[in-house]
Structure 1
Amino acid sequence: MPIVLVLQGPTVTQQRYEDAVRRFTGGRDRMEQPADWPVGGLLVHLAGQGPQGFRIIDVWESEDSCRRFGEQLAPVLEEVGITDPPEIHPLQGFVSAATVPA
């Protein structure tokens, strides 16, 4: 069953997100394709600033792939200063029409 991971809160900022991305990509500013993630199973990644702060949303193909990513993610989040815990939920619906240009 697909899993949604949501990361938001006071310590989740655009700067810290960008710092984490650089650690995962070897210095690049953006994660652009599923191969940029350290484990397989990513279906969708979204990140952006909203009225309630910066928010990151991932959709993973399974709980196992989400857990494997979490094992890689936790030390990176700690390094960049993100201490808010992620919310993890089973996915109830998924619709995709097209790739959104950057």
Structure 2
Amino acid sequence: MAIIVTLDFPDLSQAQYDEAVDRLTGGAGLNSPADWPVRGLVLHVSGPNPDGRGWHVTDVWESREAFEQFGAVLLPILRELGVESAPPLICEAYAVVR
């Protein structure tokens, strides 16, 4: 079952986001879900929060297990960057259109 994951990072800057992406992808950037270190990503969208402070991320994953595998890779990177991770909002996807 696909899931939607929403994360709000009130203290994450764009520079920290870019650094995390570089570390996650070995510098390949975000050109395709295949660039991520864990299979199962369907969609990734991110941008600054409306108030200009922090960063917002919404992902669609093929399964909760795939997201949990990704979290095991991402969380140590965020810790190294000094970013506090907020608990994700996770819900089952009712419809995924590709």
Q: Which residue in 2 is equivalent to 1:84?
A: 85
Match for 1:43: what amino acid? V
Count of matched residue pairs: 96
Match for 1:48: what amino acid? G
Q: Which residue in 1 is equivalent to 2:10?
A: 10
> 1:2, 1:59 within 8 Å by CA — same for their partners in 2?
yes
The unaligned stretches of length 5 or more in structure 1 are 98-102
Q: What CA distance in whole angstroms lies between the structure 2 residues aligned with 1:95 and 1:41?
A: 13
Following superposition, the deviation at residue 86 of structure 1 comes to 3.5
Q: What CA distance in whole angstroms lies between the structure 2 residues aligned with 1:3 and 1:31?
A: 20
Following superposition, the deviation at residue 44 of structure 1 comes to 0.5
Following superposition, the deviation at residue 13 of structure 1 comes to 2.2
Q: For structure 1, which segment, 31-40 or 85-94, has the greater mean C-alpha deviation from structure 2 after superposition?
A: 85-94
CA RMSD of aligned residues (A): 1.8
Following superposition, the deviation at residue 95 of structure 1 comes to 4.5
Q: Which residue in 1 is equivalent to 2:21?
A: 21
Give the 3 Å change call, closer, same or farther, for CA 92–35 of structure 1 in structure 2: closer
With the length of structure 1 as denominator, give the TM-score of the two structures.
0.80
Following superposition, the deviation at residue 93 of structure 1 comes to 3.1
> 1:12, 1:84 within 8 Å by CA — same for their partners in 2?
no
Give the 3 Å change call, closer, same or farther, for CA 79–9 of structure 1 in structure 2: same
Q: What CA distance in whole angstroms lies between the structure 2 residues aligned with 1:23 and 1:79?
A: 11
Match for 1:40: what amino acid? R
Q: What CA distance in whole angstroms lies between the structure 2 residues aligned with 1:4 and 1:86?
A: 13
Q: Which residue in 2 is equivalent to 1:100?
A: none
- Percent identity over paired residues: 40
With the length of structure 2 as denominator, give the TM-score of the two structures.
0.83
Q: What CA distance in whole angstroms lies between the structure 1 residues aligned with 2:93 and 2:24?
A: 29
